[in-house]
Structure 1
């Protein structure tokens, strides 16, 4: 971030937008932010909740389809309400300033720090399993000690991410670029070596796993919701192109096309990666690990793989945490500039040119979440409010279909698409509450707290049309 606070890549001296992102840049944005810790850390949880490889693959395909459905709704919103800003822009247009405040409030206290916390815990688990034997970690006598050790490493990751971001955004971005190679390398390694193992080394594993793919399947609303939430976390990031749509060349064409290509690519990539897991590891081995990459590496490459895979995965998750931390500062800065946070946080370091107070605010909240929650609770705490606001944006789409039918829509989805997406959102929220009542209810309560805060501390617009001119804020 430069010292020119609030100036985006799409702004030049004359105030005219510069369409600097190509279709390839847009695809890279979505794929780069979607592929993070999920595919490496949630495969075991999904398998455990559904009981069979076939059902697990269905969950991966279903959550990918659900993400695609939401992304296509966002494609219509992004071409109908052009410019950068994403959710905040659509909520301001369709539901008013209070919803914008609730979105920003939730982003600051849950969504952004929750993302960093989840990625930090995933990094910690891989780092710990790289140096400690799995049998020792699974020993119940040491369970409490290693649980707290994982939390401690995760908090250390949060601190390092915060420190790196607050010292230099430029170098933080460079580190992200280098670490992106780790996630690409890890997925490529799993897919290619899994195919080689199944064809030339031992085909019995994949035959056992996929010979009767749905054998042992279990179904329960709570288990199904938990599996869906883990899958949806892995696909998080499909909304990111809308956030920078103002910088996208020919957005009327490239926005929906970029969404279609990137979502299809990621769904295929995730399914192939899971097939790689099932080609090498028995079903029970996948169920009983939170770091499937390590087991995979040990099985295929021996001790070398047991070291290489966690390094690649940890670099992937750490890089994603850096990316999330860098973008979170915009929310805090703009919230402080518009009176939604104390002006204390509207400060850019004259030495480093970074929003250091914004970064450390998010870092502290991330550490707090790591300390008092486990990985599964973090997933639920993050996913529940995220899909509330996804649903709210789709409600805006439907409302504008009724109230502004003549509004130009370069890309238009079938009416059934947003309706089915809303039904899925409601069903997901209800079942999530049933599956993890404590975590979800606390998350929902945190969102609701924003309502009295809005009326107490944020002056409602008094000028007609002011709601739609509020500064726009973004999240992941």
Structure 2
């Protein structure tokens, strides 16, 4: 009960919803459609994958609402897992969040922010240190500076964090809607959209070989389902971090109502925006293209320079200045995204520390009623990942690991309904049991597909989770 008196309940429904939407929208929506186009090569199937992603995310969010209403405590998903499965499983979740999920995403988003800042300041590409194949450049330094700055702001109290979060979420939503409206207005005056949908269900996988040649393989049946199941990791990554609002439950006003509402509203807003953004891309750019072509239209969505589909779309709308406009938008988007992720993560590690499963100092609140030391632990490891250069690989591991824990958490609803039938449930999972079961089945199939089609990365993701088992028993023995 002590934590409820220490944390300040300063976040209303608007702040909670902005945290959900703001944490979800980073750099992914502006980039990943290029990889998806190469994997399935069809406008219709690209939109289907984004729609399925949105429905899965919303069904998970609606299911989480029941758990959030039952347990409106700091730590969110970590607390739900512990109540359903016990300490070991909750530690494995917390361990994975700290080692790759939260910190890996923070590092990757910060580096994306720095990469787009380099569009305005090319000197950031300068290499500071080179030892063999390992290099450190100014962009990595800027990424770390942005993480340190946002961590510092969030140590000043949840009020500071929520203002930054709301400001940047509103700014990027406004900019995204402008991109969508202008994109559709300009694009619909051409015949590109109709061309993209001429043979919209004909799927193919395009592979660019090292010698510059292309191989195109037609997809149908099981091969198509496999390709979709593998490439959906891209859209799922772009839609992740929606659960971060559960970590800060102790600071949300009327959490039993506002967390379920914010989960639904935030995921709904982002799902609609993502589908409309992809429609705008398809109205402005052909799906197919050539990597050798010098023009934006010639490269198409598949071979947009550095996969920057958003920048290519902005170039069609605004000309060369569009590159700078998009770079500015992604800077705002990534900075705001990291603000929310950094704010939320510290609360999970605080909850772990309270249970003796994390550094003891992380369980202390500062004079501003926030877990300052937990925030700095998170900052330190995320900064190390920025320097390692391995954050890109970590994202693949992290997204797969996230899916595993989403499945476990939602199955926890069934466990707790049986174990604690009389527990207070201010909100009950939407469509129970069908919607939660559908999510579990669909996401399990995606995980199996990923294990088959991307065995190395998903295997490493699973390995990171399992590495937590000996660490758990070692730390528990040491504390006895």
Q: Would the alpha carbon gap of residues 87 and 429 (structure 1) be closer, same or farther in structure 2, given more than 3 Å must change? A: same
The counterpart of 2:59, out of the listed 59, 69, 75, is: 69
Normalised to the residue count of structure 1, the TM-score between the two structures is 0.80
Correspondence list, 1:177-216, <5 A: 177-199=166-188, 202-216=189-203
Structure 1 position 60 matched with structure 2 position 50: yes
Asked if structure 1 preserves the Cα contact closer than 8 Å seen for 2:350 and 2:374, the reply is no
Correspondence list, 1:286-365, <5 A: 286-289=301-304, 290-336=307-353, 338-343=355-360, 355=372, 358-359=375-376, 362-365=379-382
Report the counterpart of residue 207 of structure 2 in structure 1. Answer: none
How far does residue 461 in structure 1 lie from its aligned partner after superposition? 10
Mapped to 1, the partners of 2:45 and 2:467 lie a distance apart of 38
How far does residue 18 in structure 1 lie from its aligned partner after superposition? 7.4
Correspondence list, 1:16-31, <5 A: 20-31=10-21
How far does residue 65 in structure 1 lie from its aligned partner after superposition? 0.5
Structure 1 position 40 matched with structure 2 position 30: yes
| Structure 1 or 2: more strand by fraction | 2
Report the counterpart of residue 208 of structure 2 in structure 1. Answer: none
Structure 1 position 385 matched with structure 2 position 389: no
Q: Would the alpha carbon gap of residues 459 and 69 (structure 1) be closer, same or farther in structure 2, given more than 3 Å must change? A: farther
Structure 1 position 79 matched with structure 2 position 69: yes
Structure 1 position 276 matched with structure 2 position 265: no
The counterpart of 2:143, out of the listed 118, 140, 158, is: 158
* CA-to-aligned-CA distance 1:407-438 (integer Å, 9 cap, x gap): 33332442122222222232122222223222
State the SS of the aligned residue for 2:406: helix
Asked if structure 2 preserves the Cα contact closer than 8 Å seen for 1:165 and 1:359, the reply is no
* CA-to-aligned-CA distance 1:226-270 (integer Å, 9 cap, x gap): 321111112113323433444545555444443333332221111
* CA-to-aligned-CA distance 1:355-402 (integer Å, 9 cap, x gap): 368536544445436634374x34321111111211121121111222
RMSD: 3.5
Report the counterpart of residue 472 of structure 1 in structure 2. Answer: none
Report the counterpart of residue 231 of structure 1 in structure 2. Answer: 235
Normalised to the residue count of structure 2, the TM-score between the two structures is 0.79
Mapped to 2, the partners of 1:347 and 1:243 lie a distance apart of 16
Report the counterpart of residue 264 of structure 2 in structure 1. Answer: 260
Q: Would the alpha carbon gap of residues 427 and 102 (structure 1) be closer, same or farther in structure 2, given more than 3 Å must change? A: same
Correspondence list, 1:451-470, <5 A: 451-458=469-476
Structure 1 position 243 matched with structure 2 position 247: yes
Asked if structure 1 preserves the Cα contact closer than 8 Å seen for 2:140 and 2:386, the reply is no
Asked if structure 2 preserves the Cα contact closer than 8 Å seen for 1:45 and 1:287, the reply is yes
Asked if structure 2 preserves the Cα contact closer than 8 Å seen for 1:75 and 1:255, the reply is yes
How far does residue 77 in structure 1 lie from its aligned partner after superposition? 1.6
Mapped to 2, the partners of 1:154 and 1:432 lie a distance apart of 32
Asked if structure 2 preserves the Cα contact closer than 8 Å seen for 1:333 and 1:355, the reply is no
* CA-to-aligned-CA distance 1:6-27 (integer Å, 9 cap, x gap): 987x536xxxx97654433333
Mapped to 2, the partners of 1:317 and 1:167 lie a distance apart of 17
Asked if structure 2 preserves the Cα contact closer than 8 Å seen for 1:176 and 1:322, the reply is yes
Asked if structure 2 preserves the Cα contact closer than 8 Å seen for 1:86 and 1:242, the reply is yes
> When the two structures are aligned, how many residues end up with a matched partner?
435
Listed as ranges, the gaps of 5+ residues in structure 1 are 1-5, 133-146, 463-476
Asked if structure 1 preserves the Cα contact closer than 8 Å seen for 2:47 and 2:278, the reply is yes
Q: Would the alpha carbon gap of residues 156 and 348 (structure 1) be closer, same or farther in structure 2, given more than 3 Å must change? A: farther
Asked if structure 2 preserves the Cα contact closer than 8 Å seen for 1:158 and 1:363, the reply is no
State the SS of the aligned residue for 2:242: coil
* CA-to-aligned-CA distance 1:14-54 (integer Å, 9 cap, x gap): xxx97654433333232222222221121212222221111
The counterpart of 2:110, out of the listed 93, 99, 120, is: 120
Mapped to 2, the partners of 1:336 and 1:261 lie a distance apart of 31
Listed as ranges, the gaps of 5+ residues in structure 2 are 123-132, 205-218, 289-299
